[in-house]
Amino acid sequence: MDGITTLALLLGLLFPRIQSNADCMDDITVNCTIMDALFSVCNGINGKWTEWSDWSACTSSCGNTTQIRKRSCTNPKPSKIGKDCEGPSEEYNHCKLEPCPVDGKWSDWSLWSACTTTCGSTTQTRIRACSNPPPSNNGTDCEGSSEEYKSCMLEPCPVPIGWRTWGEWGSCSTTCGVGIQSRNRSCVEPARYRLSDNCFGDTKEHQICMKRACADGGWTTWSSWSTCSASCGGGIYQRSRGCTNPSPSPYGQNCEGPNNDVATCNSELCPQKAGGWSGWSSWSSCTATCFGGNRQRYRGCINPLPSPFGQPCVGPSVDVDSCSTHNCAARLNSRRFEIFLNSQWGTVCNDQFDANNNGAKVVCRMLGLPTSNAMYIDPEDGPSSMPIWLDEVICTGNEESLLNCDRNSVGVHNCGHTEDVGVLCF
């Protein structure tokens, strides 16, 4: 026998259960791993996917829908002992489309409303709404009416005792202007009540009427022009008219347009005239009573006034002069500083004054005393009969007088003599 035949007999003796590749498995008598390594008798074919198909069309043209694509495990198909393909054979995708139009539909009718009266003929109403569903996304609205009516036929109402409704107004008593018109009513009285008086009031009613105005207003002719407001350089004059030709009747139209007319006149240039000074006024009061102040006097360019485009006056309109250059009267009385103003001795308050010694230096300078070590002190109170001349005094220390410092006006203060100023000069 040749070698192949011998090997086949040997295998048949050793492995009698192997019938085909599909029967190859590990057991006590067969080692499939060895057999496959030696003879490739246990090789299986695993399945593989085909390519995905194209996506299908969306299942609708609007709203929420899907599309699908597929593949099959045939590239190749798995053999009996080969593995099947892993994963899904279908995939789905959400189609992003515009929302579908929703047409409106009516809700159910509501119950009929109650009759609007308790007797006679009246109506009932029922309603429905276009809300089942409401229209959306350009859907159509509901067709038909949202309300229905039907008659209520109730017991006849009792016949009232009293006035009927007023009749129509009669014609106006005039064809234009103000007139009178009237209307009538009658009393409703059932037969059993006709012997009694059941209606109170008048059977006739009147009112004012006016079909149209008898006349609208008309203008008179213009009046003559008034005298011009200037003889040269441009002025104005005016004329007037009245709405009395004719006057409007009651409710007639007034005249249209203005009742005054204004125009320019004498627009030629006036002769040019130079201005001249008036005399000086009296001198004003001096700004200080001592240690020097100033006074002023004034004049105006009115003698004569310059004409338009005329030459104005030359020179100042204000004159300033110095005054009250003499020293102020001042003294220390029990170290309390007193100043003579308005023909009377008075004191100075320490408001602001005692913040530093600048004010004390000025006081010592007014007294002709040394200023190097001048200082503020608290002196004895001044007598209640003595005026307080100065308050809120703030000095730099270089002034010749307290009157030259920042301060209230003379005699204006908000303090008492317990706050009088005292100084030491050395």
Q: Buried b vs exposed e over 85-114: b needs ≥16 C-beta within 10 Å?
A: beeeeeeeeebeeeeeeebbeeeeeeeeee
Is a pLDDT exceeding 90 seen at residue 369? Answer: no
Query: What is the rounded average pLDDT for all residues in the chain?
Result: 83
Which amino acid, one-letter code, is at 254? N
Percent of the chain topping pLDDT 90: 37
Q: Looking at residue 252, what is its pLDDT?
A: 81
Is a pLDDT exceeding 90 seen at residue 394? Answer: yes
> The tokens of 236 are what?
């104005």
What would the CATH number be for the domain defined by 276-326? 2.20.100.10
Q: How long is the chain?
A: 426
> The tokens of 309 are what?
């485009």
Question: Pairing relation of β-strands 187-188 and 65-70?
Answer: unpaired
Architecture, CATH, for domain 329-424? Roll (3.10)
Provide the whole-model pTM: 0.28
* Whether 414 contacts 367, CB under 8 Å: no
379/385 Cα distance (integer angstroms): 17
For residues 268-295, give the mean pLDDT: 81
3-state secondary structure the chain: CCHHHHHHHHHHHHCCCCCCHHHCCCCCCCCHHHHHHHHCCCCCCCCCCCCCCCCCCCCCCCCCEEEEEECCCCCCCCCCCCCCCCCCCEEEEEECCCCCCECCCCCCCCCCCCCCCCCCEEEEEEECCCCCCCCECCCCCCCCCCEEEEEEECCCCCCCCEECCCCCCCCCCCCCCCEEEEEECCEECCHHHCCCCCCCCCCEEEEEECCCCCCCCCCCCCCCCCCCCCCCCCEEEEEECCCCCCCCCCCCCCCCCCCEEEEEECCCCCCCCCCCCCCCCCCCCCCCCCCCEEEEEECCCCCCCCCCCCCCCCCCCEEEEEECCCCCEEEEECCEEEEEECCEEEEEECCCHHHCCHHHHHHHHHCCCCCCCCEEECCCCCCCCCCEEECCCECCCCCCCHHHCECCCCCCCCCCHHHECEEECC
First to last CA, the chain: 159
* Whether 115 contacts 152, CB under 8 Å: yes
377/359 Cα distance (integer angstroms): 11
336/383 Cα distance (integer angstroms): 11
Percent of the chain topping pLDDT 70: 84
Nearest Cα residue to 164 out of 183, 139, 138: 183
Task: Please state, as a whole number, how many other Cβ atoms lie within 10 Å of the Cβ of residue 222.
Answer: 12
Res. 188 pLDDT band, cuts 50 70 90 = confident
Q: Looking at residue 69, what is its pLDDT?
A: 92
Which amino acid, one-letter code, is at 349? C
For residues 56-80, give the mean pLDDT: 86
> The tokens of 101 are what?
């139009």
Q: Looking at residue 292, what is its pLDDT?
A: 66
Is a pLDDT exceeding 80 seen at residue 17? Answer: no
* Whether 152 contacts 136, CB under 8 Å: no
Res. 390 pLDDT band, cuts 50 70 90 = very high
Domains of the chain: which residue ranges?
3-39, 46-79, 276-326, 329-424
Nearest Cα residue to 386 out of 422, 350, 335, 344: 344
Res. 347 pLDDT band, cuts 50 70 90 = very high
134/33 Cα distance (integer angstroms): 73
Nearest Cα residue to 382 out of 339, 343, 426: 339
* Whether 72 contacts 49, CB under 8 Å: yes
Question: For the segment 296-326, what is each residue's pLDDT rounded down to a tens digit?
Answer: 999 999 998 887 778 899 999 999 988 766 6
Is a pLDDT exceeding 80 seen at residue 160? Answer: no
> The tokens of 144 are what?
């038909």
